[in-house]
């Protein structure tokens, strides 16, 4: 009897070991079969450009870490693989899987795209995040990009920008007449309506154009970037506020075919990394702008000036005209504009009770 029990236990043990080995060996092929993705991301920024380019680099790093190496993205700065302003086409055509830039650069292809970057006298960073992420803006953005087989993701924000660098003072709206200014998107159309010439120049070319007099003025982002770009060496006056870009959103674009090829967990990882990049970029600008402004003023003796109230009022009036004209010409822009206005009206009412009231007393 004891002999039989020992034999049974021995057999049972061997059986359990075989089952365990079977489980272990069957798990190995599952892990081995997990597909790995090797993608390319092209950007409109110079390679590893502070904050903007760094944001793209960090996004790729976070995707790699969160996917345990299953999704590796190689980032190329503007001009390394495609021209800076060729990013959207490269993603749309499937030449690369991803892009990083700003939606207003593609106004010539999809006029409504401009609303998802910056609207003159529009929403600030908090407002843009709210409108796009939870206020219905993302659905419209996806609709705008769908004909191009591109999926948009919110990938950063600059916060309120500076008004720009000028080689002459702006005392009245007439000072814009004949002014050659590097300014993209809807803000550029407002400058053109004021009598100026809006020029679209990639970031890496701005300083040279300003220094050589190809342009008379430029806007870019704010003190942290403007200091690094050296604009103070080529222009006399630094104007505020950035009426044209009160909270500029940046984008991460994904080709539809590439996106559909990802399993659901990797899609979720890409979205999570984009959310993180969005918050990191805004935080980085907010934390570094003031120190850079102090250096511009105290070390480089930059003349910081505010646009006269009369100029801002006139620019706001012209902005409304530009937006209404765009909506009248393009049905998709009309649809987005009406949605944007409705959201902005609600946000303004809330801000009047919260942000605006707080601003009056925060310095006490």
pLDDT (tens digit per residue) in 284-318: 999 999 999 999 999 999 999 999 999 999 999 99
Distance spanning both ends of the chain, measured CA to CA? 92
- Residue 231: pLDDT over 90: yes
- Which pLDDT does position 33 carry in this prediction? 66
What value, to the nearest 5°, has the Cα angle with vertex 357 and ends 353 and 358? 120
Strands, sheet with 98-101, edge to edge from the N-terminal-most edge strand: 71-76, 37-43, 98-101, 249-255, 150-157
Q: What does each C-alpha distance from 197 to 145, 180, 226, 326, 328 come to in angstroms?
A: 28, 5, 22, 18, 23
State how far the Cα of 190 lies from the Cα of 187, in Å rounded to an integer: 5
Kind and range of the H or E run holding 258: helix 256-261
Nearest to 239 by CA among 219, 269, 210, 267: 219
Dump pLDDT digits (tens) for 273-286: 999 999 999 999 99
State how far the Cα of 219 lies from the Cα of 226, in Å rounded to an integer: 9
Please confirm whether the linkage preceding 241 is cis (ω < 30° from 0).
yes
DSSP 211-240: HTTS-SEE--S-HHHHHHHTGGGT-SEEEE
Tell me the pLDDT band of 362, cut-offs 50, 70 and 90: confident
Nearest to 197 by CA among 217, 169, 170: 217
Residue 249 or 202, more confident: 249
- Which pLDDT does position 27 carry in this prediction? 46
> What average pLDDT score do residues 2-9 get?
46
pTM: 0.87
Nearest to 87 by CA among 226, 266, 251: 251
State how far the Cα of 188 lies from the Cα of 209, in Å rounded to an integer: 17
Residue 302 or 362, more confident: 302
309-329 helix and 331-353 helix, angle to the nearest 10 degrees: 140
Contacts of 319 (CB under 8 A, 6+ apart): 120, 121, 186, 190, 243
State how far the Cα of 196 lies from the Cα of 176, in Å rounded to an integer: 5
- Which pLDDT does position 5 carry in this prediction? 45
- Residue 24: pLDDT over 50: no
* Residue 173 and residue 315 in contact, taking contact as beta carbons nearer than 8 Å: yes
> What average pLDDT score do residues 99-109 get?
96
Least confident range of 32-46, 183-197, 245-259, 308-322: 32-46
Least confident range of 80-89, 93-102, 351-360: 351-360
- Which pLDDT does position 46 carry in this prediction? 92
- Which pLDDT does position 12 carry in this prediction? 45
Q: To which residue do tokens 């006298």 refer?
A: 121
Which domains are seen in the chain, by residue range?
A: 35-157+247-286 (3.40.190.170)
State how far the Cα of 288 lies from the Cα of 224, in Å rounded to an integer: 6
Nearest to 223 by CA among 169, 315, 294, 283: 294
Question: What backbone torsions phi and psi does residue 138 show, to the nearest 5 degrees?
Answer: -60, -40
Q: Supply 223's token pair.
A: 């003190």
43 bridge partner residues? 100
Dump pLDDT digits (tens) for 116-175: 999 999 999 999 999 999 999 999 999 999 999 999 999 999 999 999 999 999 999 999
- Residue 341: pLDDT over 80: yes
- Residue 19: pLDDT over 80: no
Tell me the pLDDT band of 350, cut-offs 50, 70 and 90: very high
- Which pLDDT does position 150 carry in this prediction? 98
């Amino acid at each position: 009897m004891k002999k039989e029990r020992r034999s049974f236990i021995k057999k049972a043990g061997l059986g359990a070991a075989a089952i365990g080995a079977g489980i272990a060996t069957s798990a190995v092929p599952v892990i081995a079969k997990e597909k790995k993705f090797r993608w390319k991301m092209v950007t409109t920024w110079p390679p590893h450009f502070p904050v903007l380019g760094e944001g793209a680099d960090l996004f790729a790093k976070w995707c790699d870490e969160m996917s345990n190496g299953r999704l590796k993205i190689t980032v190329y700065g503007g001009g390394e693989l495609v021209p800076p302003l060729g990013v959207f086409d490269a993603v749309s055509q499937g030449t690369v899987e991803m892009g990083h830039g700003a939606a207003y650069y593609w106004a010539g292809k999809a006029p409504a795209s401009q609303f998802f970057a910056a609207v003159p006298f529009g929403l600030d960073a908090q407002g843009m995040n709210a409108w796009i992420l939870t206020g219905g803006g993302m659905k419209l953005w996806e609709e705008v990009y769908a004909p191009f087989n591109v999926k948009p993701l919110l990938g950063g924000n600059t916060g309120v920008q500076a008004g720009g660098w000028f080689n002459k003072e702006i005392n009245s709206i007439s000072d814009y007449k004949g002014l050659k200014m590097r300014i993209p998107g809807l803000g550029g159309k407002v400058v053109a309506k004021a009598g100026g010439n809006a020029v679209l120049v990639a970031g890496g070319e701005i300083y040279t154009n300003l220094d050589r007099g190809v342009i008379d003025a430029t806007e870019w982002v704010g003190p942290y970037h403007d200091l690094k770009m050296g604009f103070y060496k080529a222009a006399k006056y630094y104007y505020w506020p950035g009426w044209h870009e009160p909270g500029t959103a940046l984008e991460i674009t994904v080709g539809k075919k590439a996106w559909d090829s990802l399993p659901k967990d990797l899609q979720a990882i890409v979205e999570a990394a984009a959310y993180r990049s969005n918050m990191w970029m805004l935080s980085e600008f907010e934390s570094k702008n003031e120190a850079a402004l102090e250096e511009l003023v105290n070390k480089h003796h930059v003349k910081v000036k505010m646009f006269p109230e009369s100029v801002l009022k006139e620019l706001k009036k012209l902005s409304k005209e530009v937006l209404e004209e765009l909506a009248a010409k393009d049905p998709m822009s009309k649809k987005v504009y009406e949605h944007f206005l409705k959201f902005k009206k609600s946000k303004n009412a809330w801000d009047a009770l919260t942000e605006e009231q707080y601003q009056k007393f925060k310095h006490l």
